[in-house]
Structure 1
C-alpha cells in the first residue's frame, strides 16, 4: 500500500495553523470504523471501552522527533504505525488484547496537514492490525513534533503475565523478530538507506509486534513475559530482577535471519550483537515451565537459573557475562 496521503487541495501544503485543531481532529476520525469493544468513541469528553472482566491493562509511551523518529528517514504513515506498535506490544506483553488507543499530538503551527494526516492514517492502520482502534486523543501546539500514546487492553478473564513469575528451571522463549530494527538503524546512520536491504530498513521504520503471540503465551501458562523494546538482554534483565533469578541465553539457539546477516556484512558489524542488544523490534520474550508448554510460533533460546547475586550476571550468554552494552537507555546520548 502506498505510504502517502494526498490533501484534498491538490498542489497546496496547508498547515495545522491554517485549518485549526478541530479540523485536524475531524480529519483523523472521519470515516473510521470502531470495533464492538468501543462503546463511546471520538467526539465526546471521554471514550468508553468495554472490558470483559472489569480489568484494564494500560500503558503509555512518548515519541519525540529527532530522538525516536526522523521525518527524513520515515514517512508520517510509518511513524504513526510505529507509535501505535510500540504501545500495543506492551499490552500484548501482559497477555492482553488491545482494546483502544488514546493519541496526543503536539506539533509546531507550521506543520503541514499532510504530515498530521499521514500520522493519523498510520496510527489507524496499526491500531486495526492490533485488533483495536484509536478511541480518542488531543492536538496541541508545541515547539517540536511529539506523539504520546496510551494503550488500553482487555485481559479477557486471564491473569496478567508479569515479569516477576519466572522460576528456576523454566525455559526462555521469544516470538517475533530480533535484530532487524537495529540493523536498519545502523544502515540509516551510515547513510546506507538505499542498499537493497529494505526488510531491515522497514523493520526499523515500522516494527511488527506479534500481538496474538502474547495471548497465546498467556493461554499456554507463560510464567513471565515482556516485550523487547530496549534489547533482548536488557529486557530479560527486567524479568531477572523482578523474579530474583538468572537467565542464560544460548547463542546457538538464537536465530539470525539472512537479512540481518547480510546487513551486518555490509556494515561490518556482528549480527549476534544486534540480536542480543538491539531494541525496537518489539518481539515478545518470556518464560515457560518447560519446552512442552511453549506455544507454536515461539522459539526456545535458554533457561532460567538460580540468581547469580551480581547485577552484571543476572542475564548471561552461554553461561558467561556479556561484555558491553545490553541495550538502549533513554538518557544515553542519541
Structure 2
C-alpha cells in the first residue's frame, strides 16, 4: 500500500502496531507525548539524524538494516555516558514512492535494536519530504552513577576499546566499489553489533573518560584529548586485523589500518582508565594517555585520513 492511500495517521497506526514496550515506558505512542520512567532523577539524552544518500543508501541496505543502524547510532551515545538506554523517539520524513511495507520494516529494525537493551520506541512524528530522513532521539538512565564524560582523562591512564572496529568501514568500501562480499564486512556496515553493556561496565570500573567511536577512532579520540587537555597515543600493534579484512584491503588497494583508525559506523566504546584497573577481556588496551595534546599513532602523527566529517 502506498502512503497516500492510508494517509499520515494510517501510516502512524501501522508503525505503532509493530512497536514493543520497554520496562521504562509508562505511556507509549498514541498521546501528545510519551511518559518514561527516570528513577535516577536525571535523563541522559542524545539525538542523531540519518539522511538518505549521506548516511545510508537504500540499494546497499534493506529497511530493517537501516532501522537497526539508526537506533544503534543513538543507543551507543547513551552507553558512552555510562548510562542504560530507556527509550527512543523517532521522526521520519518520507518522499513519494516509499511504500508502507518498507516503512514497517524500518520500524521493525528500530524496535528490534532498541529491544537489545530493553528500550522501546515511545513516540515520534512523520512528514513528507523530498529526501528520506530519520531523526532519532535516545533517552537513558544513569542508575545513580556519575556520568562518564570526555574531559576526565589523565596522563598515565590506559586507553581501551570494547567492540569491533574497522569492519563497517571495510564493508562500506566494498559496497562503494560495487561488490557484496566478504559478507562479514558488508553485514558489519549494514547492521552494527555493539556492546552496549560496556558503557555502564566502564563506569563501574572507574573509567575517567569515554566516547562512542562513530566517526573514526583518531577523530573521536581527538575529542577526548582536547576536552581533557592531554595527548593520546595509539599502539597499532594492539589491533588484531582479521585475515578477511587484510585480504579485502589488498584486493582493493587500501591500507587496512585506514579502516581501523579512521573508519566509522562500528560504534565500539573507547575509554580511559587509571593504570591500576584490571580490565575484563571484553576491553582491549590500545594506547596510553600522556602530557601534551593531540592523538598520535606509535608516537607519530598519522598521515592518512582522520575520520568522517559531515561538512567535509
Picking from 268, 281, 289, the partner of 1:304 is 289
The question of 1:115 aligning with 2:102 is answered yes
Do the aligned residues in 1 keep the contact of 2:258 with 2:304 (CA within 8 Å)? no
1:123-202 map, 5 Å: 123-193=110-180, 195=181, 197-202=182-187
C-alpha separation between the residues in 2 aligned to 1:85 and 1:291? 32
TM-score by length of 2: 0.97
Partners of 1:254 and 1:55 in 2: CA distance: 36
Q: What does 1:2-41 align with in structure 2 at a 5 Å threshold?
A: 14-30=1-17, 32-41=19-28
5+ long unaligned stretches in structure 1:
1-13, 309-313
Unaligned runs of at least 5 residues, structure 2: none
Following the alignment from structure 2 to structure 1, what is the Cα–Cα distance between the partners of residues 145 and 278?
17
| CA positional deviation for 1:31 | 5.3
Distance 2:179 2:20 in 1: 39
Residues 81 and 147 in structure 2, CA contact (< 8 A), matched pair in contact too:
yes
8 Å CA contact 1:279–1:327 kept in 2: the answer is yes
Secondary structure, in 3 states, of the residue corresponding to 1:300?
Answer: strand
Match of 1:318 in 2: 298
Report if the CA contact (8 A) 1:221-1:293 is conserved: no
Aligned length: 312
Shift in Å, 1:288: 0.4
Determine if contact 1:37/1:49 at 8 Å carries over to the other structure: yes
1:234 maps to: 219
Aligned residue for 2:305, secondary structure, equals coil
Q: Residue 244 in 1 paired to residue 224 in 2?
A: no
2:239 equivalent in structure 1 = 254
Residue 294 of structure 1, CA deviation? 2.5
* Superposition misfits of 4+ residues, deviation over 6 angstroms: none
Q: d(CA) in 2 for partners of 1:101 and 1:257?
A: 34
